[in-house]
């Protein structure tokens, strides 16, 4: 049976996250820097001739209808193929963490099925499909670290120095919608510029979602304090609840409290699947 095995789906960290306003439809306008890290899910794909789409979970069980199957259905509908796939996933990236695990899985699914079904769609076409699934999906399709604007669809490639990071997910998770709906959320940050960020990429700016998240989820504060006890300056990624801190290359991370997930991660220069689809342009927005 034709198959594609060991397809990685890496997590990301938001090095900072500012909100500069809102669109008329209520969507928030963001500025951020997304960085790929080597904390990955792994997916496997087997071709089905009957057009069916199915999924098997090897570790943490996922919802019956998740972004992986949504991405597969969206691509199948777009290309009108009669082929299907059986998808197996080994889920390692924490959920409700702000690390983009679901969006990354969807992006790797689109890239793998684009190859498995022989479609040869360019990145921009896959990104248009991906944007309808989630604002972070185009980033994971883009193949590199990126300066992110708009609602997440305007991407500018970034080159970042190699570094190591402590990444910690407390037991509690956070739903993104709760953060963005909170009336206390700061929504009027001054516009940032890439040159200011590039001068100090790992200490630049703030995550404006963090104060709201810390009020809603005590685990965020506890994780930041745990990193602080090791001499590390933590901040939250995305809408949380995971936090991270740059750490020396030669140091080790302490054992995390029970129920937490923590590991030392390196950043990635490029997505492991970069080049799996023809590259035309990174941005999929106006």
Could you give the residue numbers annotated as active site? 12, 136
Query: Nearest Cα to 110, choosing from 95, 130, 93?
Result: 130
CA dist 240 and 228 (Å) reads: 17
Residues 281/17, Cβ–Cβ less than 8 Å: no
Query: Nearest Cα to 174, choosing from 223, 121, 129, 218?
Result: 218
List of residues 6+ apart from 25 with CB closer than 8 A? none
Residues 146/282, Cβ–Cβ less than 8 Å: yes
Tell whether the torsion through CA atoms of 140, 143, 148 and 153 is positive or negative.
negative
Supply φ then ψ for residue 256, to 5 degrees.
-80, 155
CA dist 112 and 17 (Å) reads: 30
Supply φ then ψ for residue 195, to 5 degrees.
-65, -35
Query: Nearest Cα to 168, choosing from 249, 247, 236, 218?
Result: 236
Strand ranges for the chain from DSSP E: 3-22, 28-48, 53-57, 84-90, 146-150, 154-157, 164-169, 235-236, 243-247, 261-266
């Amino acid at each position: 049976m034709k198959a594609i095995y060991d397809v990685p789906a890496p997590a990301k960290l938001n090095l900072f996250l500012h909100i500069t306003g809102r669109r008329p439809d209520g969507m928030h306008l963001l500025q951020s820097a997304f960085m790929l890290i080597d904390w990955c899910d792994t997916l496997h794909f087997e071709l089905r001739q009957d057009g069916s789409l199915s999924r098997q979970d090897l570790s943490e069980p996922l919802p019956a209808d998740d972004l992986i199957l949504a991405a597969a259905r969206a691509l199948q509908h777009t290309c009108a193929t009669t082929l299907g796939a059986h998808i197996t996933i080994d889920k390692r990236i924490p959920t409700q963490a702000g690390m983009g695990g679901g969006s990354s899985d969807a992006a790797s699914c689109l890239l793998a099925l684009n190859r498995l079904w022989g479609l040869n769609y360019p990145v921009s076409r896959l990104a248009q499909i991906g944007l309808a699934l989630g604002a972070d999906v185009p980033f994971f399709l883009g193949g590199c670290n990126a300066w992110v604007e708009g609602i997440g669809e305007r991407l500018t490639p970034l080159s970042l120095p190699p570094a190591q990071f402590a990444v910690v997910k407390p037991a509690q998770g956070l739903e993104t919608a709760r953060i963005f709906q909170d009336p206390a959320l700061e929504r009027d940050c001054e516009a940032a510029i890439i040159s200011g960020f590039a001068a100090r990429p790992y200490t630049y700016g703030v995550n404006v979602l963090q104060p709201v998240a810390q009020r809603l989820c005590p685990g965020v504060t506890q994780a930041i304090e745990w990193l602080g006890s090791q001499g590390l300056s933590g901040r939250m990624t995305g809408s949380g609840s995971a936090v991270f801190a740059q750490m020396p290359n030669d140091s080790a991370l302490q054992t995390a409290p029970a129920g937490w997930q923590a590991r030392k991660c390196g950043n990635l220069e490029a997505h492991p699947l970069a080049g799996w689809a023809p590259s035309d342009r990174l941005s999929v927005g106006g």
